[in-house]
Structure formats: C-alpha cells, structure tokens
Copies of this chain bind each other. A is one copy, B any other.
Amino acid sequence: MRSLLSDKEWLVEESAFNDEKLNYYETIFTVGNGYLGTRGSLEEGHQAGLQGTYLNGVFDHHASFIVDLVNAPDWTSLSIWVDGNRLDLHSCEILEYRRILDLKQGLLYRITRFKDAAGRITRYESIRYANFSQRHLFEVNATLTAENYSADVTIESDIDGQVYNIDLKPAYKVEPRFSPQVRWLKWSRSKHLAHVEAATTDSGVYLELKTLDRPHHIGYASAVKVEGVDHRLQTQTQYEKVGASVSFDLQEGQSVNFQKLTAIYTSRDVDKSQIRSHCTDVLQQALQQSAEQRLQPHLETWQRKWDDCDIRIDGDAEANRAVRFNIYHLLITANEFDHRANIGAKSLSGEGYKGHVFWDTEIFMLPFYIYTQPETARALLMYRYHTMPGARDYARENGNEGARYPWESADTGHEVTPPWTADGKERIWTGERELHITSAIAFGVLSYVNATGDTGFLVDYGAEILFETARFWSSRMEYKPETDRYELTDVEGPDEFHELVDNSVYTNWLVKWNLQKSARYYHWMKENHPSELARLNQALALDDAAVAAWQAMAEKIYIPFKEGEELIEQFEGYFQLDEIPITEWDENNMPFYPEGYNHFNSDTTTLIKQPDVVMLLYVLPDEFSDAVKRANYEYYEARTMHKSSLSPAIHTIMGIETNHFEKALQYFERAAFVDLVDNQGNTLDGIHIASAGGTWQAMVNGFGGMRVKNRKLTFKPWLPDKWGSISYGLQWRSGRLDVSVSAAQMHFTWRHPDHQELAIMVQGKDVSLPPNQLISVALN
C-alpha cells in the first residue's frame, strides 16, 4: 500500500496521535469529490471526534437555529474486534500511528499498530477515498496483520443514521468557542435526518433517510468485501442504522485485506423512487471490480485535475506543499456536474458557518476555477442563476426590484445570515447591510465570461443575472436631489468593523460598475443576440429606457474620490474617526488590538478588519493608477487588523503590486498556511476555503503577476529570492497557457484548439504568443 503514495512534496503527514489535534486533523484530512466531503475522523471513532460527512447541496433547517448543511452518515466507520477486544485508541496501547494525506492522488493513508490488553499486536493499514471518477462511490481499503497471535477477528461495518449537526445556539457562549468537549453536550446537537428504510440487499445493506424539513431523501448502499480468507458474513438492520459484519480466523503473521464500499445517491441526483436501485447498482458494479480497477479511474481523474491546476515552486518545498494543500481542498469541494450547489465558507470539511455560501465564492475562489476548471466555475455561477428566485424574493421583501443576493446563501437563495452572534449578545448586520455581495456575483459572471469567452453562458444565464442585479441597484440607490447624486446609506462594506456607513466607496464603485457593465452587455445582446434579449426583456419587463436609466444613474453615483487625489476615503466620514495606532504584533507579525479595542468597538476608529479600499484596487485593476494603489495600500495596511482569513492573500497580491515585498511574503505565509499551521486556531471547524482561493490568487496574481486589463492577460511577476521559479497554467478562451516565472525571465507555452495566436503583455510590453511554442521573455 505504501507504494501508492506520491512524492513527499505531495504529502501531509500526521506522525503521532495527539488528542488535542484530533479535530484539527479531521479537517485537514477531509477527503471528497465535490459530491461530498468527509472529515478525516478515525474509522473506529474517538470519544472527542467530530465526524462529518456533508453531501453538497443537502441542507435542512428543523432543529437548528438556522439552516444547516446536513451532517450525513459516515461511510468510513469500522469496528474491528480481535477475539473480543476492540481496536481503538481508548482500549489499546498504540505502538505506531501515522496518517498521510496524498494530495496528488486524493487518498488518505493510515497505519496504526494496536496492542490490546492481552498483548496482541495488530497492524491496521488503510486508504480511504471518495472516488473522483465514479462520484457516488466511497471506499475504505484496509489490511489487518496479526503480528504476534492467531485469533478470531470480526469487522463490523455500519452506516449509522443517528447523526447530528452541532448547533451553536444563539445565547450560547463557550470559550474557546469550539471546545471539542462542549460539543459533546447534548444541547448542542441538531437532528436533521429521519428513518425511511433500513434493509438487507443482495450484496450488503441499504439505509435511506430523509431530511426533516427539506424534501431530500438520502440512500446509502454498503458492503464489505474480503479477499483471500474464509470468512462469515452477517448483516443487520435497525431503524436508523444498518451494518455488515465479517468474521474470520487470522493466523500469526497473516494479513487480510478487506474493503468497505458505499454507494450514495440522493433525491437531488435521481427520483426518490430510484435512489435505492442506483445505490445498489453502483455498489454491485464496484463489488465486481478489483480494488485496482476501482482506483485506476480515480487516479486518472486526479491526474487530469492536477494537470490543469498544479502550481510548482522550485526552491521551496514547504510553500509548494502548502499551495497544493489549498488547491487540493478547492478541488474536492466543488462539483462541476452540480449546478445547484456551491461552496460554503468552510468547504465540505466542517460545520463552521453551517455550509453557507458568501461572496467568498465569487471574489476569492472563483478565479481559481475560472482559470483552471472553467466547467466548475460555470456550475458555481449556475447556482447563483438557480437561486435567483430567492434573491428576487429578497429584493421584493425589502421594497426593491430585481435580484438581491443574500449575504449568506444556502439552497434557496433566501437570506440565511443569523441575526445574532452565537453568544446572543451582538446583532449581526451583515445580512441586512453587506449589499456588495450582489455586485460580486455580477463580477463573477463577467470574470468567467471574459476569461472563457463562454458567451453561450452569458446569453442563456449570465445576462439575466447582470440585468437583475442592475435592476436591484437601480431600485435601491437613493437619489439626493440637493446634490443630484445617488448614494447608498446605512450599509456595510467589506470591512466589517464599520457596520453602518454611508457611501462605502467599495460598494458604490462596484454598484456603478455593475450598472455600467449590465448596460454594456444589454447593448451587446441587442446587437448579437436580439431574439434572446427580446425574450429576456419580456420576461423581466425590461427595455432600453430602463437600461439608459442605469447608465444615467451610474454617472451620478456618489464616490467620495476625485481625479487627482491619492487617498480614497473608505466611506463618508472615515477620515474623521479616531486614529488609534497599532503598536504590537504577534510572532507572525499580525497586529494585536490596541488596548481597549475589539471587534465590536473598533467602529469609532480607523482600524479596519480586512481590505476594503485595497480590495477595490485589486478587483478593478484598470481603474486606478500605481500611485493611488501604493498610497492606499500604505495607508490602509497600517490600519488593517486582518480579523478575517480573507485578508492576508489580498495583502500579498497588493503588497507585490505596490512593491511592499517583505510584507507580501509575510502575508503569503499567513494565507497559505492558515490551516496547515492553524494560525486562526479554528481549523477544527473546517478549512478556510476562501483563503485557499486567495492563496491560489496570491500565487498567480501576486507572485505570478497576472491581471486581466482591458480584457487581456498581463503579467508583472515578482519572486522572492529563495524561489528559483514558479510555474502555473491558465485556461483562457478555450486555450491553455503554461506560464513559468523566474527572476530573469518568463516562459510561455500557448495551446489553442484553433491554433490562434494570443496577445498578452509582460511588464507593460506587448508579447504575441504563437501556439505550441515555448516563448521566453526577459524580465527587467
């Protein structure tokens, strides 16, 4: 089994068991295939374990205080008994313990040597994986070796429907917030799944459950396959649990291999009545294959994925591993085949933010998918298209038109931001006030269309998003007759320390952009797809006059920043706030709050939580001069507390753009290792997947220096001394551009199905890339 493992730079290793790190490694070692994510819990369970399997898109509300991404049954669980002694970390002495996540192959490898009370030593080796080729198939492939005894062994394999989400109620406070201990307490559990069917099948067992409020049905067919030994098989069904057990005699020195195979379907995939047959068919087919036959297509899919998206850093294996770790988690959490699911703030690796979808998707993660997995990017945007009915309701409920996307989104597109903090003490205003999510989605649509040239998507789906978001803004902006301008008061920008501001420059600028781009693509449709536009106009009650009004409004949107100025005021009155300087930094050079200040009272100061103006400078690179970028980076960076994992990656990119290289490197460290070194202390709650997307951007847009300006790829790279070179690939307009960067030069290889040339810019100079040639460009 060891020979299955990749080279070291692809491996994340846990070399000894430490129960304080148990929940951390559960997150880190999540396996998935976009269809689901399963935390890296031990197969045999652990008292302090936080098991979690999350089926993408399967939400339920019921007992939880807000809608949850449902924690579904665990397909990895196994109990192994050697002559009546259970092999687990509570009952046995652990002679060896190691787990390795193979990022390249999507496999979690484990070895544990258990010594039981009777002195028997059993070697347990396993790999587990969520098949990336057959996405409904999940496998634990394990080998047991009796090192010093002969005994009767029983393997119990169950699918247990008695699973719960952890519900941190409002009015619930614990420090530390996610103490694993406290999670055990019954009052924090939230049930979402109820019995439908528990049955024995031809090949194993079948469990079907339904969500309590939502109409989902979930089916699991499971079996244990044992090879090379005489054995006895038994199945058992209970109300909400099914199990298979296998017993055999294990001789001293003998190894026995077995596989737990599970097939999963839900009513999101097939009609309710077909779930069981789909599950059992897939399981049956898998049972007829050898382990190698099942594994091979999985490995091939992983190979294709990595061909598309790997980033290499020569000279820094640690950084390279961290980058790949982030990309791994981006790959396992998104499903290009599912157009009604998206990515929660903690991916499919934990229950933080309850699986809810934020602007994180469009601003932080989408670029990765656009440039490496465009079908996935398209699927993520289709989720926004399909949740438009909820967004339209949300606009109407607030007296507006068009589509107002919710700050937190689950399955319907309705707002699911909890109105209070977990301790019940502080109002959460983000749902009501962070309007900029709506323009972020329009931004995502056009980023995708521009990079891919997928005008089909634009015409069929994207245009409707553009028009409906513009319509929302046109009904939402506030006309001030005294100044003849449009304003936006009582909002919250990206910086969440200041929760009630007027004329957030980021927000207003993006609204203006949204209106202008929507108008522009309206006219483009009129010219190129008149009949589709006519249909849309009819459906949306839209016409040229309305669109002209967007343009007129855009011109009059108040932005407190004038041509010729350098410093942009984050919102009206920001410059009049108290200047409370940051004077202390931690060992990672991250700021401490000035004495007396915290998240909830920094609104009287110029301290900010995360990039806001700096974010604007990044997302709209065409619109600001280098001088403006530099001045604002210097001003705002000195005031940024980085109390969001979204912050460091942006500061890396903009630090490089403004020549603050040392800071950029510090921030990169912070972003790339946020989960590997757990520098926010809450990795146990799930991967910071937006930071993973930000890390990809830090590599490609930061060190790689890539920007799209005037719809053209441009490069202005910078590398730290210790990095010999970096290389990455980009999908661009149906072609593929391989890029490598070293201190002295860049290399490009451009491939395109129609053999078109590609015009790019490198350090401000035009470069033309003929197809299928390695082109080198010297750097200044």
Give me the interface of A with B, judged by CB distance under 8 Å.
Answer: 45, 47, 62-63, 79, 81, 83-86, 88, 90-91, 117, 154, 156, 158, 160, 162, 171-175, 181-182, 184-187, 189, 191, 194-195, 212, 238-241, 423-425
Q: How far is the CA of A187 from the CA of B173 in the complex (A)?
A: 30
Chain B residue with the shortest CB-CB distance to A424: B84
> Which residues of B lie under 8 Å from residue A45 when comparing CB positions?
185-187
Is A191's CB under 8 angstroms from B240's CB? yes
Given contacts A90-B182, A184-B184, contact A84 B240 (CB under 8 A): no
Q: List 26 contacting pairs A-B, 8 Å CB cutoff, sorted by A.
A: A45-B185, A45-B186, A45-B187, A63-B238, A63-B241, A81-B171, A81-B424, A84-B171, A84-B172, A84-B423, A84-B424, A84-B425, A86-B172, A90-B174, A90-B181, A90-B182, A90-B185, A91-B174, A91-B182, A117-B173, A154-B171, A158-B187, A162-B191, A191-B239, A194-B195, A212-B239
What is the minimal beta-carbon distance from A630 to any residue of chain B, in angstroms?
44
Chain B residue with the shortest CB-CB distance to A179: B90
Inter-chain pairs besides A63-B239, A158-B187, 12 sampled, C-beta below 8 Å: A45-B185, A63-B238, A79-B187, A83-B425, A84-B171, A85-B173, A86-B174, A91-B174, A91-B182, A117-B175, A191-B238, A194-B239
> Which residues of B lie under 8 Å from residue A154 when comparing CB positions?
171
Chain B residue with the shortest CB-CB distance to A238: B63
Chain B residue with the shortest CB-CB distance to A421: B84
Chain B residue with the shortest CB-CB distance to A425: B84
> Which residues of B lie under 8 Å from residue A194 when comparing CB positions?
195, 239
Is B181's CB under 8 angstroms from A47's CB? yes
Q: This chain: how many copies in the complex? A: 2
Is B186's CB under 8 angstroms from A160's CB? yes
Chain B residue with the shortest CB-CB distance to A163: B186
Chain B residue with the shortest CB-CB distance to A83: B425
Q: How far is the CA of A238 from the CA of B213 in the complex (A)?
A: 10
> Which residues of B lie under 8 Å from residue A238 when comparing CB positions?
62-63, 191, 212
Q: How far is the CA of A79 from the CA of B88 in the complex (A)?
A: 33
> Which residues of B lie under 8 Å from residue A90 when comparing CB positions?
174, 181-182, 185
What is the minimal beta-carbon distance from A159 to any residue of chain B, in angstroms?
12
Is A84's CB under 8 angstroms from B173's CB? yes
Is B173's CB under 8 angstroms from A86's CB? yes
Q: How far is the CA of A241 from the CA of B194 in the complex (A)?
A: 13
Q: How far is the CA of A573 from the CA of B497 in the complex (A)?
A: 88
Chain B residue with the shortest CB-CB distance to A172: B86
Q: How far is the CA of A425 from the CA of B154 in the complex (A)?
A: 13
